[in-house]
Amino acid sequence: MASTPDGPTLGQGTRADWKRLIAERAIAVVLFLSTFLSVLITVGIVAVLLLEAITFFADVSIFEFLTGTRWTPLFSSKQFGVLALVAGTTLTAIMAMVVALPLGLLSAIYLSEYAPNSVRKIVKPVLEVLAGIPTVVYGYFALLFVTPILRAISGDISVFNAMSASIVMGIMILPMVSSLSEDAMRSVPRNLREGAYALGSTKLEVSTLVVVPAALSGIVSAFILAISRAIGETMIVTIAAGQNPTFTLNPFVPIETMTAYIVQVSQGDAPAGSIEFKTIFAVALLLFTITLLMNLLSQFVVRRFREEYE
């Protein structure tokens, strides 16, 4: 084989060949290291949270942490019952889903089964704008627009309350539910629908008795992802739901979520090493574990229960 002036053929053992071979290997190693770093991020998260949480649990019993219902680490008489924060997170996430689930699913059915293509092409991206708006903007909207309306309806509602934050959070995660559910419904093959129509079904019956059941794994997985998103949501609840850890499911009083507590402590000057500083890592470890389990569950649902029509 002849070598060309600007690129000698590989395999002849010239110095240029060796240089190129070494460069190829070096680049492969660099790319591998970059990929490895993405795995290291997870390791780093777990390590960072565990390290501080372990020293926290040296001072506070893990049993008290997981079963106590009073959370007062920032007061002089400190109690570390994380259930007060878990209750706040649960309440806001459930109520957000009460908004996002029906609206999101019905929107998805509309987009997938009813909307003409031209309408769908416009409505879908416009809906997704809702998902792109920064959460701090939703927080502003919840506190200064939704809360005054709620308080005008009932004077018993506090300025900071779970209801307003949850409604707005539901609006925020609605596009996630509708988008993922719609993807699942559109991948249901046409002939299933046509079979049902041939038997005289109405569109309602086709949608609810054929398409939704066939796409159920995708829809359920979208719901689980949305709940996980609601649990991890921070700014809306920080701004609009209050900073009063309360073991309650009353949506009209101030509460505090796990995420809002982390922000509250971060905003103050808790010195590294203090018990207040350590609490945020213990809370974050719990938060991380819950959301990770839900994400894994969502992936499992898709893999395990997917209906195959090929």
Residues 269-288 that bind another protein (CB under 8 A): 272, 280-281, 284, 287-288
**Which of 293, 278, 302 lies closest to 49 in space, CA to CA?**
278
Question: H-helix or E-strand containing 174?
Answer: helix 162-186
Contact segment (CB under 8 A) with another protein among 69-77, 97-105, 184-192, 215-223 equals 97-105
DSSP 8-state secondary structure symbol assigned to residue 228: H
Binding mask 245-274 for another protein (x = CB under 8 A): --------------x--xx--xx----x--
Collapse the DSSP code of 247 into the 3-class scheme (helix H, G, I; strand E, B; otherwise coil) and give the result. Answer: coil
Choice from 82, 93, 96, 111 touching another protein (CB under 8 A): 111
How many residues form the binding site for another protein (CB under 8 A)? 87
Residue 185 CB partners (closer than 8 Å, separation 6+): 108, 109, 112, 113, 211, 212, 215, 218, 219
Residues 145-184 that bind another protein (CB under 8 A): 145, 171, 174-175, 178
Return the residue of 239, 241, 282, 301 that touches another protein, per CB under 8 A.
239
| In the complex, least distance from residue 88 CB atom to another protein, rounded to whole angstroms | 15
In the complex, what is the shortest distance from the CB of residue 77 to another protein, in angstroms, rounded to a whole number? 26
Q: For residue 71, what are the β-bridge partners?
A: 80
Q: Which of residues 193-232 bind another protein (CB under 8 A)?
A: 202-205, 207-208, 225, 228-229, 231-232
Instruction: Say which residue the tokens 């009460």 belong to.
Output: 98
> Please, which residue, 10 or 216, has the CB nearer to another protein?
10
Q: Could you tell me the two tokens for 130?
A: 């809702």
Applying CB under 8 A, which of residues 95, 96, 143, 214 lies at the interface with another protein?
143
Selected from 66, 98, 133, 209, the binder of another protein by CB under 8 A is 133
At how many degrees (to 10) do helices 275-305 and 258-267 cross?
Answer: 150
> Is 22 near another protein (CB under 8 A)?
no
Alpha-helical segments (H) within 241-274 = 258-267
Determine, following the binding rule CB under 8 A, whether residue 34 of this chain makes contact with another protein.
yes
Q: Does 244 participate in binding another protein (rule CB under 8 A)?
A: no
Tell me if 16 contacts another protein by CB under 8 A: no
Q: Provide the sign of the torsion angle of the four alpha carbons 201, 203, 204, 206, taken in this order.
A: positive
Q: Which of 94, 123, 192, 220 binds another protein (CB under 8 A)?
A: 123
Q: Which two tokens stand for residue 49?
A: 């949270």
What pairs with residue 26 in β-bridges? none
- Spatial neighbors of 170 by CB under 8 A, at least 6 apart, are 95, 96, 97, 98, 99, 100, 103
Rounded-to-integer distance, Cα 116 and Cα 112, Å: 9
Q: Quick one: 92 or 238, whose CB is closer to another protein?
A: 238
Region binding another protein by CB under 8 A among candidate stretches 56-64, 69-77, 127-135, 187-195: 127-135
Q: Which residue's CB is nearer to another protein, number 42 or number 191?
A: 42
Residue nearer to another protein on the CB measure, 98 or 204: 204
Q: Is 171 helix (H, G, I), strand (E, B) or coil?
A: helix
